[in-house]
Amino acid sequence: MEGNVIFALSLTLFAGLATGVGALIAFFTTRTNKKFLSVALGFSAGVMIYVSLVEIFVKAKDSLVTALGETQGYWMTVIGFFGGMVFIALIDKFIPKKNNPHEVKTVEDVNAVALNKGAVDEEKLMKMGVFTALAIGIHNFPEGIATFMSAMQDPNVGIAIAIAVAIHNIPEGIAVAVPIYFATGIRKKAFKLSFFSGLAEPVGALVAFLILMPFITDTMFGIIFAGVAGIMVFISLDELLPAAQKYDETHLSIYGLVAGMAVMAVSLLLLA
């Protein structure tokens, strides 16, 4: 049990701190590799959607059916699934669009805002970076719960979700680091804020461990797991796939989506 907890917490830490990778990319590149990012985000979405619908939803349903019976168990699974979607959608709703990490940004976009034809408004840039970091922290919190709970139930599924979450945290790190760097001129400060914005992920995992785990029953587990599936699917549809339009690489994103599903299907089969 203790080993599983440490492993699950480590996965959430890995996924959350990928925002720091985004900061490093922002500092050492001047152009966004749109093709690579489209494929990577599509791949991440494919992993999340496949594992959510094929593994997580099914395990949630099995748990609830065992606890509540066939009909009631299935309905509770559906309610938990769409409840997870509503939960993450409400978080989106109350975050201003310009600070919403689900609005994907490129290095060029943030540089354009930062430079503003040579007239840099340092106060506005700093505020944009800080609020974006807070917004990402809010988003990463439920993702941390999702990654932790998945890893506790099935380490292989947890690994897949952690990798997918880490991939989509990279552009979020860019969105935090670049405006703060241009506002302060201090790369270390920009990197720290970007890096620490990802810590909400393991904090969410700790909340799941300290508050939820002691009271876990088959019914509670099923509802939480169904909610996790809903959160993952919503993030994929609301954030990752629209990146195809943002980067004008629609087909590459879909190819990445299919590849993510295929890799997930094969890996689950081989590790079963």
Spell out a b/e string for 86-120, using b for 16 or more CB atoms within 10 Å of the CB, else e.
eebeebbeebeeebbbbbbbbbebbbebbeeeeeb
Closest by Cα among 36, 57, 61 to 48: 57
Is 139 annotated among the ligand-binding residues?
no
Residue 168 assigned ligand-binding role: yes
CB 208 within 8 A of CB 148: yes
Task: Decide if 211 contacts 149 (C-beta within 8 A).
Answer: no
d(CA 216, CA 213): 5
Helix axes 70-93, 218-235, angle to 10 degrees: 40
140 is in an annotated binding site: yes
Helix, strand, coil shares of the chain as percentages rounded to 5?
A: 90, 0, 10
DSSP 8-state code for residue 117: G
| Tokens of residue 157, six digits | 């599924």
Q: Tell me if 91 sits within 8 A of 234, measured CB to CB.
A: no
> Is 70 annotated in some ligand binding site?
no
Confirm whether residue 99 is marked as ligand binding. no
Is 156 annotated as a binding-site member? no
Binding-site residue ranges for Fe(2+)? 140, 143, 169, 172, 201
Binding-site residue ranges for Zn(2+)? 143, 168, 172
Binding-site residue ranges? 140, 143, 168-169, 172, 201
